[in-house]
Amino acid sequence: MDNGFFRVAAVVPKLSIGDCRSNYMNIIEQCNRLYEQSVKVAVFPEMAITGYTCADLFHSSTLLDSAQECIGLLAMASTNWDMILFVGAPIVHNNKLYNCAVAIQNGKIVGCVPKSYIPEYNEFYEKRWWRSGADVDEIVNIAGQNVSMTCRQMFEIDGVLVAAEVCEDLWTPIPPSSRAALAGAQVLVNLSASNDLIGKYQQLKSLILQQSACCMAAYVYAGAGYGESTTDVVFDGKAFIAENGSLLAESQRWSREEKVVVADIDIDAINRDRIHHSTFNDCGERELRGLEYYTISCSESNCKRNASGKLLRQVNPTPFIPLTNKEESYAEAINIQVAGLVRRLEVTHSHSLVVGISGGLDSTLALLVAVRAFDELGLDRTGIVGVTMPGFGTTDRTYNNAIKLMELLGITIKEISIVPAVKQHFADIGHDINVHDVTYENSQARERTQLLMDIANQKGGMVLGTGDLSELALGWATYNGDHMSMYGVNAGVPKTLVKHLVKWIALDMQDNATKEILLDIVDTPISPELIPADDSGNIKQKTEDLVGPYELHDFVLYYVLRYGYSPRKIYKLERVAFEGVYDDDTIKYWLKTFFRRFFNQQFKRSCLPDGPKVASVSLSPRGDWRMPSDANSALWLEECDNL
């Protein structure tokens, strides 16, 4: 495998009903192409050798003998391939006819998986031809080779376990693939011939995605297409590759040509989820009692592959922001934040919230959430006290946006300049005001937090934190300054998502004045504004110039927390996701910066205030992320240096 990626294909080939030799030649043609693409597992439809709609011809010895012959020819041809080929074919054993997935690799028929569940309700009344193979565990002769035939076998290639099932098996309450996954199979394949009906496509697609999610596995589905009989039904040529609930690839339907979908499965992600979710293994211990699964090793090969360097899967550069159903996700995020704050206000009997408003993204999102929470509780918005605290680096743009936004939202506005207090503080501790170091910056942040806390005491309310998930990951917060609050409503929202949420709310606004302010805040450079502005009054201290682009850091953060990936694997993914945006040296530089800061700043995350988990990961020391503050980053930084 290349960095944990494993290439698979689902194929809808050309088909001629009953013409096994023609079908065999089409399969050979496709396999030669797939081999050149470095595919490790290729899946063809149910009865791909004969055609699924042969009906009573399945009782013809001519057809069955031809199928055996062509399976043997496929096995001979496979000496040129080290991939496993799964092809559907009829197999006779002990005068019983089985609908099977035949596994072929390196000149051998390595296994045979019979269909477990034979439907009698559908258009074909399959029990007329097929026997269930659910309880079969025997050695059968196929094309002169002795082969294991059982549903309880897995095929190992490059350390990956692959298990097969056939069509109807997936539609049952407990599909064979479920137990195979619990036994260790990371890739599940389905050889199918599912005719199309109104609504069936979406139902099947949902079923495949759900099965891949429940099994924490990849699911490769190849369905019959053009060429099957249309006497009573029609087949549209469905093919899917799913991974842990996400669709990686699917075929074009209703095509008269063969269709092939290829994708790289992330085996590391699958393995990590299975380790991380203890219920998966608990379920395996219960469901596999008394069942024995066999593993057939298919890894030995003398074939040399012409590996393709391009990763065959889409890599979302903003993994916290879905590629589809964005508005639904944005609404979910806001609703989670609002619900968390509503409950906290109820249990604390607070009718007052104190929020520091800077005119930046984070405080804007926190304020918008606060307003919605007060509206839901039927509280007067004047109970929200927005405090703007101009300092040495505050610019007119952010100041004016903060004031206008608070006015438009109808909250209580309080303005306190921190300049006199901080100057006095500098005098007290003997700090030169012209030295713009960490003391200069942090003194301002802590003064603001002190003001907010004391005002909250006056009002009998609580301070609403505004810091986001990305800042917590990088430690871009002043300890006991903006690091502290009484409820961190943005603590589970990464910076890239904050920006999209504010923009989404803005575009939904009916009030054009409020919309205009929000959109300008979205366009304002991200800055703590702790250093004086430039000569033109513009922001001089830009966060992303100092700590790096948030889109890069959020990408790394997602894969560190969600999958525990190494710097090497994250770097590979970043190069794909940000191709043409950042060069390799830039990606490496900020990748190392992330790991250095992430480790060094854990002490700030070890004592975070409460806040709702919003995205798929969080840094709460009580929840998703528990890490010693004195952990050593040497291994990670060394790997970054060796990229």
Catalytic residues: 46, 115, 167
Taking a C-beta distance cutoff of 8 angstroms, is the pair 462, 486 a contact?
Answer: yes
Helix (H, G, I), strand (E, B) or coil at 30: helix
**Phi, psi values for residue 164, rounded to 5°:** -120, 150
Instruction: Count other C-beta atoms under 10 Å from residue 570's C-beta.
Output: 26
CB within 8 A of 444, min separation 6: which ones? 391, 392, 418, 422, 530
Taking a C-beta distance cutoff of 8 angstroms, is the pair 526, 542 a contact?
Answer: yes
Residue closest to 82 by CA, chosen among 44, 36, 13: 36
Cα(624)–Cα(618) distance, rounded to whole angstroms? 6
Alpha-carbon separation of residue 505 from 288, 355, 378, 492, 519 (angstroms): 49, 19, 21, 18, 10
Helix (H, G, I), strand (E, B) or coil at 262: strand
Alpha-carbon separation of residue 588 from 210, 296, 313, 515, 561 (angstroms): 36, 40, 22, 38, 19
Instruction: Count other C-beta atoms under 10 Å from residue 284's C-beta.
Output: 17
Residue closest to 309 by CA, chosen among 105, 3, 78: 3
Residue closest to 411 by CA, chosen among 451, 378, 449, 370: 370
State the greatest distance between any 2 C-alpha atoms of the chain, in Å, as a whole number: 100
Q: Which tokens go with 127?
A: 């029990």
Beta strand extents in 239-332 (DSSP E only): 239-243, 246-250, 259-266, 294-297
Burial of 121 (0-12, 13-18, 19+ CB in 10 A): exposed
Cα(456)–Cα(91) distance, rounded to whole angstroms? 77
DSSP result, 171-214: GSSS-HHHHHHHTT-SEEEEEE-----TTHHHHHHHHHHHHHHH
Helix (H, G, I), strand (E, B) or coil at 517: helix
Q: How many residues does the chain have?
A: 643
